[in-house]
Structure 1
Amino acid sequence: MKKYIVLTVLFILPIVAYMFFATATHNSLFLPEISKNHQDVPTTFQSLNKEQITLKDKITILGFPGSNIEEVKANLFNLNQKIYNKYSGFKDFQMVMIMPEGTQEEVLKIQAEFARITKELQNWHFVFANPVALEKYYNSFHFQNTLDINSGTSFVYILDKNLTLRGRKGQKIKGKIEYKECYDSKSAAELHNEMSDDVKILLREYRLALKKNNTRKDDFRDNIKNQVEKNKK
C-alpha cells in the first residue's frame, strides 16, 4: 500500500507544480531583464545576528523601507502576506530589506509579529547600514525612484541569481509600452496581482532552465525513487 501512495505522489506532484506555475497570467516564459551587473550587499552591512547576507545565487525581493517603522509597518506586512508566505517554500527565494542603523529594536518587534502568522522566517532578512552607506548602495542601482528623508522607499525590486534587475518592459498594454522596474509595497493589490505573478514567472524560468540543462537532480524525486526501491526489497 505504501508503495502505491509513493508512486501516486511521484506522478501527481509534477502535475501540481505545473498547475501552480501555469496560473501566472503572463503568457511569457521569461521575465524581462531591466539592468545587469549590480553590486551585492556590502560586507559592512550586517543582519541582526551579524550574518553576512548575499544576493548571489538567490531570487531576491530587495527593499529599502526606511527608518519610520510605524509608517512602513503595513508595507512590510503586505510583503509578508502577499509575497513571502507564497514563495518561502522555495529554498532559492529570499526577502532582503536594507534598513538604517538604529531601527534594530523596531525590526525585532516586526519579526515577533511575523512569527505569529508565518511559520518559517529563515529567508526574511533585515540588514542594517548607516544612512550614507545605505543611500550610496541604493544609488548604485540607478533606479528611477529616490529615497525619502527617512532613507527609505515603499518600492521593492526583484533581482535574479545573477544580480540582474527583473521587471516588465516592451509589452504593449492598451497601446502603451509597459515598463516596470519596481512594485509598490503600499498596494496589496499590486503585490498580489503583478509582483506575485512576476516572481512566479522567474521561478518557472529557473525551473525550466534546470530541466533543460539537466544541471542538477531533483532531490525530492530521488528520495521518492529510493523509497520505492527500498519498498521492493
Structure 2
Amino acid sequence: MYIYNVTTNVEETAHHAWVKWMKEIHIPEVLSTGKFLSAKFTKVLVEEDMGGVTYSVQYSVPDKATLERYYEEDAPRLIESVQRNFAGKLVSFKTELEVVDEYFVQLATATHYLFTYGTLQEKEVQLGVFSRPLVGFKDELSHYRISDIKVADLYPTLQHTGKEGDKISGQVYTLSHQELQKADAYEGDAYERIQIQLGSGKKAWVYIAK
C-alpha cells in the first residue's frame, strides 16, 4: 500500500475558508475518483517561519499503478480547482510513501459482529477503513443470495429470498462501536446496516442496498 501525502501551508486570511472547502468539497472529490481507500486530514503542529497554517492530507492507495492513474486521469482537474479557488493563498508539496509494514493493537472493546461478503474482506480496504487488518471466521447467511442488481452497477448487495436452499458464505469480523461507524461511512448512503442471524446462531450486522 502507498500513502499519497499533500502538505499545504495556507495564509491566515484564507485559512478558515480553505479548511471548510477541503472538508466539504476537495477531499470528497479526490475520494470520489475511486482511486483511494481513505483520507486523513491533519493539522501540522509547528510554527512556520513563513507564517500561515500548515496541514497534511494523507490518502491511502492500494498500489503505485493506481496512484499513477490518478496523476494522469484526475490530478490536473483537481489541481486546477485548487488554483481557481485559492491562487496565491497557499503553497503545497506532495510526497509518496510506501508502507513497509504495519503493527496494530487489538481492541478489547470490540463487541459487534459484522458479516461481510464483498470488499471489506480485502486487506487493503480494511487498512484504509480501520487502520488494521481484521481477523475473522467463516459463517453462512441463510435465505439470502447475491442480487443480480448491483449498487451503482458495480457493488454487490443481498436479496432476501426466504428459500432454504439459498445461502451466502462470508467472513465475520468483530468490531468496536467506533469501527462500526467507520464501516458505515465506507459503505455510504447507498447501503443500510441491518442485524441478522447467521448459520452459527450468532447475531451480526450486514449491509444491504437501500
Q: What's the TM-score once normalised by structure 2's chain length?
A: 0.28
Q: What's the TM-score once normalised by structure 1's chain length?
A: 0.26
Higher strand share: 2
Higher helix share: 1
Q: Choose between structure 1 and 2 for higher RCO, CA contacts under 8 A separated by at least 6 residues.
A: 1
